[in-house]
Amino acid sequence: MKGAIKDVYGIIGNPVAHSLSPAMHNAAFKELGLNAIYLAFDTTDLQGAVRGIRALGIKGVSVTVPHKEAALNLVDELDDMAIHIGAVNTIINRNGRLIGRNTDWEGAVRAIEEVMPLSQKKVLIIGAGGASRAIIAGCKRQGADVHVANRTVEKAEALSGRFDVSFSGLDIPRDMSFDIIVNTTTCGMGSDTTIPVSRWVIEGASCVMDIVYSPLNTPLLKLASELGKTTIDGLKMLLYQGVRQFELWTGLNAPLACMKDALNNKRS
């Protein structure tokens, strides 16, 4: 691309070197012929980074760990779902006014509802971290009955109070069954072969989603596939939340196919 870059976007967090978002968004800019670039900004100074967004006229950023919760208090405006979830993963800069949004829940909902509607379904969310909160909120919004299971029961209980869902430890009560299972923990990441819940829990479900994408085919998804379940890998949520971010920043329809190809090529 010749000449100066007109619009700058990026991701702020620590660490961010591993992020696949630059590949996805830069592919979208190129596909649509936009004079824009998306960069990774590794920072522990969130307040300084937000000042930099304003000062440099950065058009928008993705916010990742560990800054999603703290970003709530540093923007000028929040949408209802960001407030409800208690986290911001997207900042839009409109002439110096920073708007905080959360697209994680939208990415998760789109990934699931591509294969199964959430309305009136029983959903098991494994884990009680930031991703869990966004997915719980999204599933509840779509009319699902949600149960949260976490190794530390107190953390699951805290989410129960915030989102009005049932909870337990990872030892799921035998009288419970679920249509959809979503793993939001790091179980199965890298060389970890852990499957977070008992086999019988998976046997009773129709669909299993894992937000881990390294490896793409986690031990949980391998077992679910062997049991004949519909599976959703971790790149789907990443893709769809990124698609929504792109549309919020640019006002354009995101080039879904090229963004998907960019993620797959980066993973291969």
Active site residue 140: no
What does each C-alpha distance from 215 to 160, 189, 220 come to in angstroms?
Answer: 30, 6, 11
Give Cα 27 to chain centroid, integer Å.
19
Spatial CA neighbour of 105 closest among 151, 83, 137: 137
**Six token digits for residue 150:** 């976490």
Give the Cα separation of 11 and 15 in Å (integer).
Answer: 10
Residues 88 and 245: beta-carbon distance below 8 Å: no
Which of 68, 121, 229, 260 is catalytic? The answer is 68
SS3 state of residue 10 = strand
111 Cβ contact partners less than 8 Å away, ≥ 6 residues apart: 209, 232, 236, 237, 239, 240
Q: Which residues are catalytic?
A: 68
